[in-house]
Chain A
Amino acid sequence: MTEKNKKDRKKVSQIDASVVTQRHTDAERFNLKQKLLRRLSHRSVIGYYFVGPAILFFLFVSIFPLTRTIVTSLTDKDDGVLKFVGIQHYLELLQDEWFWNSLFNIGIFTGSSLILHISIGLGLALLINETWFSNTMRNFFRGLLILPWIFSTATAGLMWSLLYHPFGIINYIAVGILGFSAPLEFLQTPSTAMASVVVVNTWKSYPFYMIIILGGLQVIPQELYEAAKVDGANAWHRFIHITLPQLRSLLIATSIIDIITTAGHVDLIRILTRGGPFRSTETVAYYIYNKAILDGNMGYGAAISTLMLIILSILIIIYLKIISRGGGTGETTF
């Protein structure tokens, strides 16, 4: 350390001291110092007081029931008597063709929902992120485009059931204008039921992804685009070489959130199709609900839940790796 540096430091501390003494007497300063010191040494403990209530809440209301799910999956109720059956349910599960059916359905459901959510969300976010001549107008349309997100799944399902009705407006377009011979029974035909559910899920959920992607677009430095323009890159090249790479980790993280949320949907399927027709829309989540709550076979339902948790926890771990990248210093901020 140089001599000059030391001098500067001394100066600064003198200024600090003079500021403090202007406002506090010596005794007060001493007390204050003691207090601050005490606070520093207790710092890590005080933190737990603030975090504690939420953590305790999670322990009792999330973690404990979660362990109960796993325990329940190893038991069976026989004539009202609970008994331990080990992994019997899991063995049954591997033989259960309806379980494999539901696994196939959930793959179709989450896969197609994911593609539609992210592409529509990205497209609309790009549109809203363009330069608009009026910000008020842009915010107004942003509000309109988010609107589907605020409706409950029940309401969304009902709205679309009306549209899908054999005499509803979609069938009017199909039969009355496009000349189909008979109205399409969207939700009653096995080949179209899943697609119809995916459409409703897309309509209901794309706004969430649109907003998150919009947030990602807004932090991409404008200089990158300007530099690319100077180099003669057109809009498509700018999208491929700047926007997508900059959004990469956000898109991966968002996709994982989407897969997990979509996989967990029971309400949408219950309201639109109840898993039918011919179990063509019965996903794993709905199968759990069906077995455990409607049939009352808790052990078996819990076994499916546990399997689902194991599959999803792989995705959750990947997600946590992404959001905590660059950390590792032991700090609580990411």
Chain B
Amino acid sequence: MRQLFSSSIRSRYVTYQMVIVSFTVFLSIIILLPVAWMLNASVRPIKEILSYPPKFNFDSLTTKYFVSIIKNETYQQYFYNSTILAISTLFLTVGLGLLAAYGFSRFKMRGGRFLLLGIMALLMLPTVTLIIPYFLLAKTIGIYDSVFGLVIVNTAFILPICIWLLKGYVDSIPIDLEEAAMIDGCTRVQAIWKILVPLVLPGLVGTGTFVFIFSWNEYLLAVTLTDSPESQTLTVGLAAFFGQFIRNWNSIMALSTLTSIPLMIIFFLFQRWVVRGMTSGAVK
């Protein structure tokens, strides 16, 4: 009797699991269809994609679209600019963000709460409300059409969330560890560098990935504040390419794929920490 009972529960559990897994697989396929189609269109002549029904000839697969994009000097320049932009923004944001998160987490300051609320308000400031003064100011002070200018303005929009996420991490590390280190003769900077930074490393990696993805993908600021290929980024290049009257779908999709590959690699490497940061810190 007991055997029967447990086996019926067991089979119910297995059925339940099957339903959950197959439903998720089904949804994942639908959701990832646009990505699969982009990859498909970057290695197959567009005539076979845009036809009823789409064809899947194995023979017509080709890498020539990728090769032509990679060899193009303008796209190399875009790629270089995007990399410089994303990495500089990453270091500036995480540096300023960690200092501020430490300050907010460890010290009771007069007006600290007010400042923190102000930062939360800035977190939600839409980019579009600032493009007019940025456009005018950038021309006045001479950082229009430069990657440096983009780094500065990108940081302004990503730093608030960065402070917020990092503050959550610093809060979770007991202050006793630093105090013990300081009693044993470390300076505060040493205590931060040797005790705190290794402990919040997952948070730094997660936040850093967040910043990298944000600045790599940023479009509005880049298209408003740049004018020439010397300082334009991949997103601007993509959109400009797309705007042409005759659409070269194969090259567009090859460029999209090449733009996305670094993000996919970084995301799958650091997924755990990004997700942890977002689930624990963003809204509580």
A residues near B (Cβ < 8 Å) are 32, 36, 43-44, 46-55, 57-58, 61-62, 65-66, 68-69, 72, 124, 127-128, 130, 132-133, 137, 139, 141-148, 150-163, 165, 167-169, 172, 175-176, 203, 208, 211-212, 214-216, 218, 250, 253-254, 256-257, 260-261, 263-264, 266-267, 270-271, 285, 288-289, 292-293, 298, 301-302, 305, 308-309, 312-313, 315-316, 319-320, 323-324, 327, 330-334
Q: In the complex, A20→B183 CA distance in Å? A: 11
Partner among A72, A165, A212, A285 whose Cβ is within 8 Å of the Cβ of B136 = A72
- Kindly count the residue-residue contacts between A and B in the assembled complex, taking CB atoms under 8 Å apart: 312
A32 lies within 8 A of B126 (CB)? no
Q: How far is the CB of B225 from chain A (nearest CB, A)?
A: 10
Task: Check if B102 is an interface residue, CB within 8 A of chain A.
Answer: yes
Contact residues in A for B38 (Cβ distance below 8 Å): 155, 158-159, 162
Contact residues in B for A288 (Cβ distance below 8 Å): 128-129, 131-132
B239 lies within 8 A of A271 (CB)? yes
Task: Check if B152 is an interface residue, CB within 8 A of chain A.
Answer: yes
Q: In the complex, A223→B213 CA distance in Å? A: 38
Partner among A43, A145, A250 whose Cβ is within 8 Å of the Cβ of B31 = A145
A162 lies within 8 A of B53 (CB)? no
A47 lies within 8 A of B109 (CB)? yes
Q: How far is the CB of B115 from chain A (nearest CB, A)?
A: 6
Q: Please encode chain B, from 81 to 120, with 1 for each CB lying within 8 Å of some chain A CB and 0 for all others.
A: 0000000000000001101101111111110110111111
Q: How large is the interface on B (under 10, 10 to 19, 20 to 34, 35 or more residues)?
A: 35 or more
With A72-B133, A215-B279, A288-B128 already in contact, the answer to whether A151 and B159 are too (CB < 8 A) is no
With A160-B34, A162-B38, A332-B112 already in contact, the answer to whether A48 and B103 are too (CB < 8 A) is yes
Q: How far is the CB of B81 from chain A (nearest CB, A)?
A: 14
B113 lies within 8 A of A327 (CB)? yes
With A160-B34, A162-B249, A257-B283 already in contact, the answer to whether A330 and B120 are too (CB < 8 A) is no
Contact residues in A for B106 (Cβ distance below 8 Å): 47, 50
Closest partner residue, chain A, to B112 (CB atom): A332
Task: Check if B146 is an interface residue, CB within 8 A of chain A.
Answer: no
Contact residues in A for B213 (Cβ distance below 8 Å): 150
With A51-B103, A154-B238, A162-B49 already in contact, the answer to whether A264 and B126 are too (CB < 8 A) is yes
B100 lies within 8 A of A51 (CB)? yes
Task: Check if B224 is an interface residue, CB within 8 A of chain A.
Answer: yes
Contact residues in A for B279 (Cβ distance below 8 Å): 211-212, 214-215, 218
B129 lies within 8 A of A319 (CB)? no
With A61-B155, A151-B260, A330-B113 already in contact, the answer to whether A264 and B132 are too (CB < 8 A) is no
B126 lies within 8 A of A293 (CB)? no
B28 lies within 8 A of A319 (CB)? no
Can you list 13 contacts pairing A with B, beta carbon distance less than 8 Å?
Answer: A47-B112, A150-B217, A150-B263, A152-B219, A152-B235, A152-B260, A154-B239, A155-B217, A155-B238, A162-B41, A264-B127, A266-B127, A323-B283
Q: How far is the CB of B3 from chain A (nearest CB, A)?
A: 22
Partner among B100, B113, B125, B256 whose Cβ is within 8 Å of the Cβ of A62 = B125
Q: How far is the CB of A264 from chain B (nearest CB, A)?
A: 3
With A143-B268, A168-B50, A270-B239 already in contact, the answer to whether A44 and B107 are too (CB < 8 A) is yes
B27 lies within 8 A of A155 (CB)? no
Task: Check if B124 is an interface residue, CB within 8 A of chain A.
Answer: yes
Q: In the complex, A276→B21 CA distance in Å? A: 41
Q: How far is the CB of A45 from chain B (nearest CB, A)?
A: 9
Which 7 A-B residue pairings sit nearest by Cβ, starting from the closest? A47-B107, A215-B279, A264-B126, A50-B103, A152-B217, A65-B133, A68-B133
Q: In the complex, A320→B156 CA distance in Å? A: 19
Identify 13 new A-B residue pairs, CB closer than 8 A, beyond the known A47-B108, A65-B134, A167-B51.
Answer: A68-B137, A127-B24, A127-B27, A150-B263, A156-B34, A162-B253, A172-B54, A203-B31, A211-B275, A253-B283, A263-B126, A266-B128, A316-B121
Partner among B51, B99, B117 whose Cβ is within 8 Å of the Cβ of A51 = B99
Contact residues in A for B148 (Cβ distance below 8 Å): none
Partner among A130, A151, A332 whose Cβ is within 8 Å of the Cβ of B109 = A332
B113 lies within 8 A of A331 (CB)? yes
Q: How far is the CB of A268 from chain B (nearest CB, A)?
A: 9
Q: How far is the CB of B266 from chain A (nearest CB, A)?
A: 8
Considering residues A137, A153, A250, A309, which has the most beta carbons from chain B within 10 angstroms of its beta carbon?
A153
Q: Please encode chain B, from 22 to 62, with 1 for each CB lying within 8 Å of some chain A CB and 0 for all others.
A: 01110110011111011001000000011111100000000
Q: In the complex, A315→B31 CA distance in Å? A: 31
Q: How far is the CB of A213 from chain B (nearest CB, A)?
A: 9
Q: In the complex, A66→B272 CA distance in Å? A: 36
Q: In the complex, A181→B8 CA distance in Å? A: 51
Task: Check if B76 is an interface residue, CB within 8 A of chain A.
Answer: no
B27 lies within 8 A of A145 (CB)? yes
Task: Check if B278 is an interface residue, CB within 8 A of chain A.
Answer: yes
Q: How far is the CB of B99 from chain A (nearest CB, A)?
A: 5
A50 lies within 8 A of B137 (CB)? no
Q: In the complex, A103→B119 CA distance in Å? A: 28
Task: Check if B66 is an interface residue, CB within 8 A of chain A.
Answer: no
Task: Check if B144 is an interface residue, CB within 8 A of chain A.
Answer: no
Closest partner residue, chain A, to B267 (CB atom): A150
B163 lies within 8 A of A331 (CB)? no
A271 lies within 8 A of B242 (CB)? yes
